[in-house]
């Protein structure tokens, strides 16, 4: 059976909240806040500052949601409050603030601006898998690789999270993360029980400055950034992100809820931008005999480029 991931959709939210609720320790932290979580996540779908994926296991007869991963881009003010003792549980606090209309998430405009200059504060909201899948190597690998895939290419200035288990704390520290001290500074692990990090609100993370001194660690790799060159529009980015997962133009149109004609129009605009800003990408390619074959060849080269340059698909100001 294969473990795959895709963006969270509205139809998934109820099941994703259920996955969170099935973890007793996590559910206890939310308390009555779990009653608001579904409405909060539904209201955030489509926001640039809200990144949510579901993990699925595909069998012979059906595909089942086995986990969820959610992260957000938050304001400097919220991050400062998070780093001042007493520490709090991130998920319940975000749910509470957003439910009362006081969201600390960046607006789409602020996200684009921060990703151009200054940088973004990335906060891991929730990551949870069903109990029967905890500890399975293929699931752990899928979660880690997906997190990297979803967050490469952003201009990050800080990454903060609360790993839900002792194992994920250990993995995060091995991967270059540090524990946030009571003074609001990231420090290497000191003597003490890792269980303290799970039982009481604690944070692990990394700043851009710290990452520069940890070359080679996967967490540090998330801070590697270069400016995009093509300047794709948001509608073009959505098409390209969907195309990275595969599918025909008709399937992409259905997934995005747009017409096939609009998909083809977007491709023409995309190819025009690439030809202007990256002329070498399509240059000196062997011309196919038919237009359809030329289009397929262009798409293949472009998709290969985007896999290596995710910054082209991240929100940015014009």
Instruction: Categorize the per-residue pLDDT at 273 as very low, low, confident or very high, splitting at 50, 70 and 90.
Output: very high
- Sequence-distant (6+) residues with CB within 8 A of 82 are 88, 90, 123, 160, 203
pLDDT in tens, 40-65: 999 999 999 999 999 999 876 788 99
Q: Residue 153: which region, alpha, beta or left (left: phi > 0; alpha: psi -120 to 50)?
A: left
pLDDT of residue 196: 66
Q: Does residue 299 sit in helix, strand or coil? A: helix
How is the beta sheet containing 120-129 ordered, strand by strand? 2-7, 50-58, 63-74, 120-129, 156-161, 204-207, 178-180, 186-187
Sequence ranges of the domains in the chain:
2-221, 234-313
- Sequence-distant (6+) residues with CB within 8 A of 278 are 229, 230, 305
Q: Which fold has domain 2-221?
A: Aminopeptidase (3.40.630)
Instruction: Categorize the per-residue pLDDT at 8 as very low, low, confident or very high, splitting at 50, 70 and 90.
Output: very high
Which residue has tokens 């948001």? 234
* CA separation for the pair 237, 269 (Å, rounded): 11
pTM for this model (two decimals): 0.91
How far apart, in Å, are the Cα atoms of 58 and each of 2, 65, 129, 207, 245? 5, 9, 15, 37, 16
Q: What is the mean pLDDT of residues 87-106?
A: 97
pLDDT in tens, 113-172: 999 999 999 999 988 899 898 888 899 889 989 999 999 999 999 999 998 777 777 778
Own/partner long-range contacts of 256-263 (Cβ < 8 Å, ≥24 apart) = 263/239
Confidence check: pLDDT of 286 > 70: no
């Amino acid at each position: 059976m294969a473990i795959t991931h895709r963006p969270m959709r509205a139809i998934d939210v109820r099941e994703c909240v259920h996955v969170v609720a099935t973890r007793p320790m996590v559910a206890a932290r939310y308390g009555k806040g779990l009653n608001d979580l579904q409405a909060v996540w539904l209201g955030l779908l489509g926001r640039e500052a809200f990144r949510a994926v579901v993990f699925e296991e595909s069998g012979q007869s059906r595909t089942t949601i086995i986990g969820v991963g959610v992260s957000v881009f938050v304001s400097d003010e919220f991050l400062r409050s998070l780093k001042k003792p007493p520490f709090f549980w991130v998920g319940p606090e975000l749910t509470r603030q957003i439910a009362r209309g006081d969201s600390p998430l960046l607006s789409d405009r602020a996200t684009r601006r921060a990703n151009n200059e200054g940088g973004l504060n990335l906060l891991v909201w929730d990551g949870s898998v069903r109990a029967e899948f905890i500890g399975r190597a293929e699931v752990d690998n899928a979660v880690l690789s997906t997190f990297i895939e979803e967050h490469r290419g952003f201009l990050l200035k800080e990454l903060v999270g609360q790993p839900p288990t002792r194992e994920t704390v250990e993995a995060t520290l091995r991967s270059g993360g540090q524990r946030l001290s009571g003074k609001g500074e990231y420090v290497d692990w000191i003597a003490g029980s890792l269980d303290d990090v799970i039982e009481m609100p604690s944070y692990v993370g990394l700043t851009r400055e710290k990452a520069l001194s940890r070359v080679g660690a996967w967490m540090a790799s998330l801070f590697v950034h270069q400016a995009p060159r093509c300047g794709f529009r948001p509608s073009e980015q959505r098409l390209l992100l969907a195309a990275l997962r595969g599918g025909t133009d008709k399937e992409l149109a259905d997934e995005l809820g747009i017409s096939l004609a609009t998909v083809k129009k977007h491709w023409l605009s995309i190819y025009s931008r690439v030809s202007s800003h990256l002329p070498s990408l399509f240059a000196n390619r062997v011309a196919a005999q038919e237009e359809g074959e030329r289009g397929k060849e262009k798409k293949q080269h472009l998709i290969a480029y985007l896999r290596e340059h995710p910054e082209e698909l991240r929100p940015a100001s014009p």
